[in-house]
Structure 1
Amino acid sequence: MVGADGSAEEHDPPLTAPGAGQLVMMQFGLIGLGSGAAAALLFASLTSGSPLSVPLAYLAPLPIMIAALGWSHWAALIGAVTGGLAIWLLFGSLFFVAFFAGIGLPGWWLGYLAMLARPVGSNGTASLEWYPPGRLVAWAAGLASALIVLTVLMMGGDADAFREAMRVAVHEVFRIAASEAGSSGPAALRNPERFVDLLVVVIPPATAVMATLTNTVNLWLAGRIVKFSGRLTRPWPAISEMTLPPLTAAALAVAVAVTFIDGMVGIVAGIVMASLLIVYGVLGFAVIHSVTRGMSARGFVLAGVYAAVLIFGWPILVLCLVGLAEQIFNFRARAALRRGPPAST
């Protein structure tokens, strides 16, 4: 619903009968329990050790987001809480914190924001303005940064303690992998300690990037699934027209500058910088979608871009540069001018 004061509120289904409120709340509860159970199962698949468990765990926020977009953010909140409690009972409090902070809370909050709307216009022509996708992507990055920063602070109160804890963790991972594979692990490298030191530096920002992409892709998938089911009350946003909040570029510039500070401050700044940079990678995808409109080989170009990112990974850096350049050169507006207005029918 949208408040009378013009503030944005969640767009919930209307109640049509006196007893509909109780029925709707019961439905929200059942949907919430189901989404929480599904999210907990996907998250708990990590304990199986199967290679398939990793992509399944990445999809853990999806059921909660589907509940938020298709029913209500209350259903999603019930799912986040019940899923977290199930994880707590099965695996303990540490896993509960990991689930709720990394899966439940982002899934609920992003789903809640996606269904916010406010009235615009006047004189009988009022319509709803929905929460813009660019801000949703920025929120996904902010939540991912907060999660990784919290994890870093839990591992060590200062930079030296964190790096030592990371070294121990990396060595343990290599030891387990080597024992299972029957190899010598990092000891086979020419300079294993340098390789471990590199991983200590790279893992926190890389994890922030993956968390940002996980939040963003799951929200997109949830929207497509709910739209296909006919329950999506907001219009599907034009991703190719996505714009970022005005302060995103300034926040990225500050984060880049602060990364040169030694210690925990620099580590935290690196995590924030990586999350914000991948936001511009998403904007780069939007630019590619926009500027290729009208091209006969558009499908081939888009498929090639997505395949290159999925297979090699590093082309996402090119898209980050495209997104950054879009803020200066406005490629989409230039491409629209070249295409001209749509032909009249």
Structure 2
Amino acid sequence: MMQFGLIGLGSGAAAALLFASLTSGTPLSVPLAYLAPLPLMIAALGWSHWAALIGALAGGFAIWLLFGSLFFVAFFAGIGLPGWWLGYLAMLARPVGQNGTASLEWYPPGRLIVWAAVLGSALIVLTVLVMGGDATAFRDAMGAALREVFRIAATEAGSSGPAALRDPDRFIDLLVVIIPPATAVMATLTNALNLWLAGRIVKFSGRLTRPWPDIPGMTFPPLTAAALAFAIALTFIDGMIGILAGIASAALLIAYGLLGFAVIHVVTRGLTARGFVLAGVYAAVLIFGWPVLILSLVGLAEQIFNFRARAALRRGPPAST
């Protein structure tokens, strides 16, 4: 137990330092803050979820002492809770019996991705509710914050800066609509990427006690598609309900985009140009961004048409040697 406590304190200190780097205002602070859940997830996967929970509480307490209660809420909701909960679920297993033998069934990776989306959207929903109790109050608060950001940027850029910095009003209304769902997408991807990276680090160290999951073969719970359809339907309602539904829709859509990547990885197995196809898909998403919507549709269609199973049937069983 002492070891778990020390590991937890160390992971909490590392997470708090990465999160606190945002206060420096440097460009490097943003990617460092995105990595803040990583130490907690490493503690959970390599030692115990209790170590991660101790780290989340210790890191949150340090943030509260240094920066106040608002930063504590942001740290615990966006860093501490996802780091502990995803790490806990990843190491969750139950015994199953087959033919008189017992084995362990580990928490499936598809459900972890769905949880990453739930936690990512919950953080942004909380932020929106804190900024304003209704849609008008939120838009006014977000618009005022964006105008201050543009004002500071225009002051630093001077007269040689772009015109958008000197006359930002035409962009602010659009940004108020785009930023909440876009931030939910980033939070979902951050949770998923940090969990994968923590798993690779712990596996490399030899402390990962669960087998590495079949990520390309992951599946989502059947009700996930229904939840996405319901959230998209709610986006047509004006006001705060529509804003919150847009956040949830964006997080679930990017989760289905990750499922679409898994489908592409499986159906291209055996192709001679597989490396070229995968490189093209990843490059298109990284450069243009919007092709991830096609992958989201692929992920949604997978739950109906089961492309991966059809591809496996076409390939047939592996050749015996």
TM-score (norm 2): 0.96
Counterpart check, 1:264 vs 2:240 = yes
Match of 2:256 in 1: 280
Check 1:303–1:184 CA distance in 2 against 1; reply closer, same or farther (3 A cut).
closer
Match of 1:344 in 2: 320
CA distance in 2, matches of 1:178, 1:300: 43
CA distance in 1, matches of 2:175, 2:163: 14
Match of 2:286 in 1: 310
Runs of 4+ in 1 over 6 A off after TM superposition: none
Q: Secondary structure at the match of 1:54?
A: helix
CA distance in 1, matches of 2:39, 2:163: 37
Task: Give the 5 Å matches for 1:183-332.
Answer: 183=161, 186=164, 188=166, 192-332=168-308
Q: Secondary structure at the match of 1:233?
A: coil
CA distance in 2, matches of 1:219, 1:265: 30
1:208-229, Cα deviation, whole Å (9 max, x unpaired) = 1110110011001111111111
Task: Give the 5 Å matches for 1:1-345.
Answer: 25-182=1-158, 183=161, 186=164, 188=166, 192-345=168-321
Q: Secondary structure at the match of 2:238?
A: coil
CA distance in 2, matches of 1:223, 1:30: 20
CA distance in 2, matches of 1:258, 1:249: 14
Which AA in structure 2 matches 1:229?
S
1:198 to partner: Cα distance = 0.7
CA distance in 1, matches of 2:256, 2:152: 36
1:33-79, Cα deviation, whole Å (9 max, x unpaired) = 11111111111111112111111110000000000000000000011
CA distance in 2, matches of 1:206, 1:241: 27
Indicate the RMSD between aligned Cα atoms, in angstroms: 1.4
Whether the 8 Å contact between 1:67 and 1:75 is mirrored in structure 2 is yes
1:122-178, Cα deviation, whole Å (9 max, x unpaired) = 453111000011111111111111111111111111111111111101111111111
Q: Secondary structure at the match of 2:125?
A: helix
CA distance in 1, matches of 2:265, 2:81: 30
1:238 to partner: Cα distance = 0.7
1:187 to partner: Cα distance = 5.5
Check 1:265–1:220 CA distance in 2 against 1; reply closer, same or farther (3 A cut).
same
Match of 1:19 in 2: none
Between stretches 248-257 and 177-186, larger displacement belongs to 177-186
Q: Secondary structure at the match of 1:290?
A: helix
Check 1:240–1:152 CA distance in 2 against 1; reply closer, same or farther (3 A cut).
same
CA distance in 1, matches of 2:149, 2:111: 36
Which AA in structure 2 matches 1:153?
L
CA distance in 2, matches of 1:214, 1:310: 15
Which AA in structure 1 matches 2:316?
G
Which AA in structure 2 matches 1:343?
A
1:194 to partner: Cα distance = 3.4
CA distance in 2, matches of 1:118, 1:209: 31
Q: Secondary structure at the match of 1:120?
A: strand
1:184 to partner: Cα distance = 5.8
1:199 to partner: Cα distance = 0.6
Q: Can you give the 5+ residue segments of structure 1 that lack an aligned partner in the other structure?
A: 1-24
Q: Can you give the 5+ residue segments of structure 2 that lack an aligned partner in the other structure?
A: none
CA distance in 2, matches of 1:130, 1:174: 48
Which AA in structure 1 matches 2:295?
L
Which AA in structure 2 matches 1:236?
W
CA distance in 1, matches of 2:285, 2:71: 31
Whether the 8 Å contact between 1:178 and 1:185 is mirrored in structure 2 is no
What percentage of aligned pairs have identical amino acids?
Answer: 84
CA distance in 1, matches of 2:112, 2:239: 31
Q: Secondary structure at the match of 2:101?
A: coil
1:103 to partner: Cα distance = 0.2
Q: Secondary structure at the match of 2:27?
A: coil
TM-score (norm 1): 0.89
1:188 to partner: Cα distance = 5.0
Whether the 8 Å contact between 1:87 and 1:95 is mirrored in structure 2 is yes
More helix as a share of residues:
2
